Structure 1
Amino acid sequence: MTERLLVRRWMPDDREPLLRVYGDAEAMRWVGDGVALTPQQATNWLEVTANNYRQRGYGMYTVTLRNGGSVIGFCGLVHPDDQDKPEVKYAFAREHWGHGYASEVVCALLPYAAEKLGLKQIIATVAPDNAASRRVLSKAGMKLIDTLPEDDGSQTLLLSWHAPAVALQ
């Protein structure tokens, strides 16, 4: 929860908003392989996320406006291909771009993950040309640690965030 946003676990009713955000080809140009989600993939992702909640205690979350309640996007922590480190992911409906919601929710999610989930390091991946996401991740305190080559010849930037050290009492 932030000043303007409510964040909650996914529910089966989130399938349609999920398709509205992740089914938008323009919105997805920076996500994964850049291809919009199909209805079956949305259903599968809801199941994967429910399983992540059971196994890890976290996953993707639904983001709504405090004053309106409608779903504006999604944010959370995932382990693509069962990778070791949790990775922050987010996407918002295009009509909600440019309002600072991604920065607001990511800046709240990382400390929450450290304090409530005990996570010490969180990573993010971003295309070098995705200036908006690079700004979001930078505002959240994530630092560039590597540039990864992709099979298609492109590159992906790898960023990392470490939980602040807790002073011994």
Structure 2
Amino acid sequence: MKILETDRLVLRLQTTDDVAFILELLNDPSWLKFIGDFSVKTLDDARTYILNGPVRMYEQLGFCLYLVERKEGRAPIGICGLVKRDSLEDVDIGFAFRPKYWSKGYAYEAASAVMSYGKDTLGLTRIVAITTQENQASTNLLEKLGFRFERLIQMTNDSEELKLLVFDETENHIKKQWESSETKEILDRLSASFFDAFTNENGYKLNVHALSELFIPEAMII
């Protein structure tokens, strides 16, 4: 079943017909290095992974890691979607692509569609992501999507500290408001008023009393 579509890609539910691709993906050296060994070594293991992972999560929560196909030839190239882990409070985005499809913009295209789906359809205002500290490519992609580094965390039964990155719609909205031209103009006026209170050039008399209009009564200037 198709869930999302972009200019070049289709994101759909994984099925047991995808066992060969999933087996290959989960044993790719890049997956083993940056994500981990899921002990999926046979086609039967891959079938179990699909049924107990993405299929079950979609049935329970309405989202999962989707299979990503190129429209051209309908070749599977990776997975991308949303996950709810017991060890994390928030829903997180995940993605993994076969190396021969790296550096072609596919991961960003798929992840952007998933982020829009999460916000607009599922109503998520906060989405997180985890990645190893050495996986700079994933970090760069997440930052391009609007994520920011929050802290290092340690997952259950994992000795390695991972980076937790966060996308917060409310926080981003406030940030955009502060960066608006109108807000910048207000801040510039406040700054100018502050420094003018201490100016005594050319015979100008200090007007420190004007500071009471800029600060709350409890404020202290040191």
Q: TM-score range by the shorter chain?
A: 0.7 to 0.9
Can you give the 5+ residue segments of structure 1 that lack an aligned partner in the other structure? none
1:84 Cα deviation after fit: 3.1
1:134 Cα deviation after fit: 0.6
Which residue is 1:98 aligned to?
A: 103
Which of these two proteins has the greater Rg computed from alpha carbons?
2
* Residue range with higher mean Cα deviation, 54-63 or 82-91: 82-91
Amino acid in the other structure paired with 1:163: E
- Cα–Cα, structure 1 residues 21 and 63, in superposed 2: closer, same or farther, change >3 Å? same
Which residue is 1:158 aligned to?
A: 164
Which residue is 2:41 aligned to?
A: 38
Q: How many residues align?
A: 164
Checking the alignment, whether the CA contact within 8 Å between 1:24 and 1:36 is kept in structure 2 is: no
1:81 Cα deviation after fit: 3.4
Checking the alignment, whether the CA contact within 8 Å between 2:80 and 2:93 is kept in structure 1 is: yes
- Cα–Cα, structure 1 residues 159 and 74, in superposed 2: closer, same or farther, change >3 Å? same
Name the % identity.
Answer: 27
Checking the alignment, whether the CA contact within 8 Å between 2:40 and 2:49 is kept in structure 1 is: no
3-state SS of 1:3 partner: coil
More strand by share: 1
Checking the alignment, whether the CA contact within 8 Å between 2:10 and 2:71 is kept in structure 1 is: yes
Describe the superposition over 1:7-56 as per-residue Cα deviations: whole angstroms up to 9, x where unpaired.
1111111111111111213333101x356632344222211211111110
3-state SS of 2:7 partner: coil
Aligned partners of 1:75 and 1:152: how far apart in 2?
23
Aligned partners of 1:60 and 1:87: how far apart in 2?
10
Amino acid in the other structure paired with 2:130: T
> Higher relative contact order at CA 8 Å, sep ≥6: structure 1 or structure 2?
1
Checking the alignment, whether the CA contact within 8 Å between 1:23 and 1:37 is kept in structure 2 is: yes
- Cα–Cα, structure 1 residues 96 and 12, in superposed 2: closer, same or farther, change >3 Å? same
Describe the superposition over 1:60-118 as per-residue Cα deviations: whole angstroms up to 9, x where unpaired.
10101111201000011112336431111111112111212111111221111111112
Matched, 1:144 2:149: yes
Q: TM-score, normalised by structure 1?
A: 0.86
3-state SS of 1:144 partner: strand
Matched, 1:77 2:82: yes
Q: How does 1:116-131 map to 2 (within 5 A)?
A: 116-131=121-136
* Residue range with higher mean Cα deviation, 81-90 or 64-73: 81-90
- Cα–Cα, structure 1 residues 55 and 119, in superposed 2: closer, same or farther, change >3 Å? same
- Cα–Cα, structure 1 residues 16 and 127, in superposed 2: closer, same or farther, change >3 Å? same
- Cα–Cα, structure 1 residues 56 and 132, in superposed 2: closer, same or farther, change >3 Å? same
More helix by share: 2
Aligned partners of 2:87 and 2:139: how far apart in 1?
24
Q: Among residues 58, 63, 69, which one is paired with 2:63 in the alignment? A: 58
Which residue is 1:132 aligned to?
A: 137
